[in-house]
Amino acid sequence: MLGKLLKYELKRSARKFFPLVLGYMIVALIFSLMLRYGESVKSPNFLMIFIVVSIAYGIAVGALFTVGFTISLTNFHKTLFTDEGYLMLTIPVKPYYHIFTKFISSVIWSAASMIVFVLSLLLIDPTEYLDSVGDFINALGNGFAEEPLTSFLICLYTLTLFAGLQIFLYFVISLSNCFKHKVLVGFAIIFACNMLSSMISNLAGDLSLWNMLFMPTSRLPDTEVAFNLRLVFMTMYQFAYILAYFLLTNFIITRKHNLQ
């Protein structure tokens, strides 16, 4: 059933993702042509047009990096907390399946956005950015070859940061929909959770609890070991938040959600 839900979610998301990517590539193509042939244009209005296109391209880049993220959030709200929720929540699957499918979809489209961005750089200036992309791939490969554990832990921690933000916003959407003034309540939830998270971090967070559970870095004979241990701890720390927000979101959808 998870596979069927994911297939439906990807089809639904694709109808929003590909038009946005097409628009982005058109803006990137225009920007590329203006960079290549701008010097030969004698029109006095060219500079103004180029500035407008440059701003549009910057906005398009920002939209591209957030498109997978935002599509997942809008689909989460629409398919579970609007009239469409009558249909989705009557499907004989557990609510956490919906959370999983939205998150997996977000990861897939975010990765696709990165690929599209790299392709757009090659479209703008293949001679310059092809070497940069090659250097990045080589550096990434060398990092995994020389320090596989550290590289893996960095990637894992980065993924937990992404997952933590995504699941947290699912929780905000779910809880705010239990109230009348959803937008105001949503901002209040974000503010309250950030305050609570800061308090926890200060009292028993990644620094103080680290010193309680592990030896200080200066006492460890190998700084790489200390760095890896800190990465493991920070990943566990983030995963605890992910698990808490996931369970709360699942509880709200299961017990507290009202479709009326």
The better pLDDT of the pair 190, 69 is held by 190
* Residue 214, CB-side half-sphere exposure with 13 Å CA sphere: 19
**In contact, 218 and 141? CB cutoff 8 Å:** no
Q: DSSP labels for 92-138?
A: SS-HHHHHHHHHHHHHHHHHHHHHHHHHHHHHH-HHHHHHHHHHHHH
* CB-based contacts of 42, cutoff 8 Å, min separation 6: none
Q: What is the mean pLDDT of the chain?
A: 79
For 222, phi then psi, to 5°, come to: -120, 120
The better pLDDT of the pair 13, 257 is held by 13
| Section 131-135 average pLDDT | 69
**In contact, 232 and 226? CB cutoff 8 Å:** no
- Nearest CA-CA partner of 73 in 149, 155, 177: 177
What is the pLDDT at residue 168?
92
Listed by start position, the domains of the chain span 1-127, 147-260
How far, rounded to the nearest angstrom, does the alpha carbon of residue 205 sit from its chain's CA centroid? 23
Task: Inform me whether the pLDDT recorded for 222 exceeds 70.
Answer: no
Written as one letter, the residue type at 227 is: F
Dist. CA 192–CA 114, nearest whole Å: 32
Write out pLDDT tens, residues 200-219.
766 655 444 445 445 444 45
* Cα R_g (the chain), whole angstroms: 23
Q: Which of 35-39, 102-106, 130-134 is the most confident on average?
A: 102-106
Which residue has tokens 């209040």?
A: 188
pTM of the complete model: 0.78
Task: Inform me whether the pLDDT recorded for 238 exceeds 70.
Answer: yes
